[in-house]
């Protein structure tokens, strides 16, 4: 059976050059079994024709809030209520702002206010518009209101010489997020146990200061939730993050790398361990019990000591899990460093991602992963971290299944 068989999806096509991608998105959704009802804004019709959209969807295209025939039965409410998911792609800065303020002066706006279904937005706009304070504020408010997002990604813009974050997610990336929202839950990891590390570690210098990494914990927490949803019994070992503890699992809170290693070892044995945490490589050799003060004589000398390598320790542990997965967060030589890490640390797989500041991965909502194993490299599209987590959970289930049948 197709992954989206019998699912009804309403697709709002916004007004932007990325509207051309909506044509491929319709095709990708339909080939997975979904029925797609298109709603075009007036601006969308400047970029793609209703004829092309309707032909690909094999359905009528809706656009007019005040259509006499449709509104005899309050058509915008009917459209809002008879679908399992509403996608807005492309979601322009204007459309995001309209939803935040509750405007419903066109068909798309009325549907978005009236629907009880999940809403998934795929933003697309010039990088300057995406980074504007108003758009960032609207993005955060919509997330708080329960709207899901996929993208935007980074790349060349339609405007000559423009590049940055603002490209609409590719259709396959949007489909992956749709499947994560709508696909029937499978529990292929039922009866399995998993350990996941997440977030940064804080290595104290004195009672006030510490050494840390720029990790929000979003990817690690999402992986823990995906493994739980797949049926695994999960222990999440979390460094200091601002995220709430996920339900349905054991959560161990730690501060330092040493504490994280201790919590991981205490959770053994396990079937799988996924090391997502951005562990500080170094700590101060001797923590000061008092705040270090400026003296006017220059910076104090801080002797550093190397932190334990949690991935390598568990990769070569007497109670090594059947599947050990690490992350390689790199700014240079991504695949070379990931392959080296795979061999040195006794891992079965390394998920390599570029954490250069321009990429926005650290603390961001999306991730672009290259899965490195002894068999080769598997490139994943840019995905929302929740969708990347579900994809990894499916990969883990398949890998453990092969091990179990070997």
What residues are labeled active site?
213
Whether 291 has a binding-site annotation, put simply, is yes
Whether 308 has a binding-site annotation, put simply, is yes
Whether 281 has a binding-site annotation, put simply, is yes
Whether 310 has a binding-site annotation, put simply, is yes
Nearest to 148 by CA among 83, 89, 215: 89
Nearest to 276 by CA among 236, 333, 228, 317: 236
Whether 154 has a binding-site annotation, put simply, is no
Residue 38, helix vs strand vs coil: strand
Nearest to 364 by CA among 158, 162, 222: 222
Whether 385 has a binding-site annotation, put simply, is no
Residue 181, helix vs strand vs coil: helix
Copy the structure tokens of residue 58.
Answer: 């094999």
Whether 392 has a binding-site annotation, put simply, is no
Per the DSSP assignment, residues forming a β-bridge with 383 are 367
Whether 345 has a binding-site annotation, put simply, is yes
Name the CA dihedral angle for 223, 225, 231, 234, rounded to a multiple of 10 degrees: 80
Whole-angstrom Cα distance, residue 258 to residue 204? 12
Cis peptide before 90 (omega within 30 of 0): yes
- Beta strand 250-253 pairing with 272-275: unpaired
Beta carbons of 235 and 196 less than 8 angstroms apart: yes
Whole-angstrom Cα distance, residue 149 to residue 383? 10
How many residues are given for the chain? Answer: 406
Q: Tell me how far CA of residue 19 lies from CA of 6, 13, 137, 171, in angstroms.
A: 25, 6, 24, 11
Whether 174 has a binding-site annotation, put simply, is no
Whole-angstrom Cα distance, residue 235 to residue 245? 11
38 phi, psi to nearest 5 deg: -85, 140
Strands (E), 309-382: 323-330, 349-354, 366-367, 370-373, 376-379
Q: What is the CA radius of gyration of the chain?
A: 24
Name the CA dihedral angle for 258, 259, 260, 264, rounded to a multiple of 10 degrees: 100
Alpha helices in 205-361 (DSSP H): 218-229, 257-267, 310-315, 334-344
Whole-angstrom Cα distance, residue 25 to residue 170? 8
Task: List, as residue ranges, the binding site.
Answer: 281, 291, 308-311, 327, 341, 345
Q: Which residue ranges are tagged as binding site for CTP?
A: 281, 291, 308-311, 327, 341, 345
């Amino acid at each position: 059976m197709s992954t989206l068989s019998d699912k009804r999806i309403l697709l709002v096509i916004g007004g932007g050059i990325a509207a051309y991608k909506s044509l491929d998105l319709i095709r990708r959704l339909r080939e997975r079994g979904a029925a797609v009802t298109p709603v075009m804004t007036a601006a969308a019709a400047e970029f793609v024709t209703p004829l092309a959209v309707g032909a690909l969807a094999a359905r009528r295209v809706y656009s007019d809030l005040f259509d006499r025939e449709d509104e005899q039965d309050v058509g915008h409410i009917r459209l809002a209520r008879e679908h399992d998911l509403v996608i807005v792609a492309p979601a322009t800065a204007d459309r995001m702002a309209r939803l935040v303020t509750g405007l419903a002066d066109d068909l798309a706006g009325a549907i978005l206010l009236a629907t009880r279904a999940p809403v998934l937005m795929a933003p697309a706009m010039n990088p300057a518009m995406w980074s504007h304070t108003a758009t960032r504020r609207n993005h955060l408010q919509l997330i708080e209101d329960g709207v899901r997002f996929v993208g935007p990604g980074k790349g060349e813009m339609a405007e000559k010489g423009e590049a940055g974050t603002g490209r609409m997610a590719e259709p396959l990336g949007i489909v992956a997020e749709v499947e994560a929202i709508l696909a029937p839950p499978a529990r292929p990891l039922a009866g399995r146990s998993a350990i996941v590390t997440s977030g940064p570690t804080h290595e104290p210098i004195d009672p006030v200061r510490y050494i840390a990494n720029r990790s929000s914990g979003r990817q690690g927490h999402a992986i823990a939730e995906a493994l739980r949803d797949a049926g695994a019994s999960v222990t999440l070992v979390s460094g200091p993050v601002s995220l709430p503890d996920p339900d349905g699992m054991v959560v161990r809170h730690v501060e330092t790398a040493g504490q994280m290693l201790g919590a991981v070892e205490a959770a053994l044995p396990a079937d799988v361990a996924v090391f997502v945490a951005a562990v500080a490589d170094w700590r101060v050799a001797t923590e000061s019990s008092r705040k270090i003060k400026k003296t006017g004589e220059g910076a104090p000398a801080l002797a550093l000591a190397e932190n334990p390598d949690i991935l390598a320790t568990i990769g070569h542990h007497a109670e090594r899990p059947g599947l050990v997965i690490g992350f390689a967060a790199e700014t240079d030589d991504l695949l070379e460093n990931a392959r080296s890490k795979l061999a040195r640390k006794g891992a079965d797989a390394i998920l390599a991602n570029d954490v250069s500041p321009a990429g926005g991965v650290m603390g961001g909502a999306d991730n672009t992963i290259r899965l490195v194993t002894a068999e080769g490299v598997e490139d994943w599209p840019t995905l929302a971290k929740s969708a990347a987590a579900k994809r990894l959970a499916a990969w883990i289930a398949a890998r453990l299944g092969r091990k179990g049948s070997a």
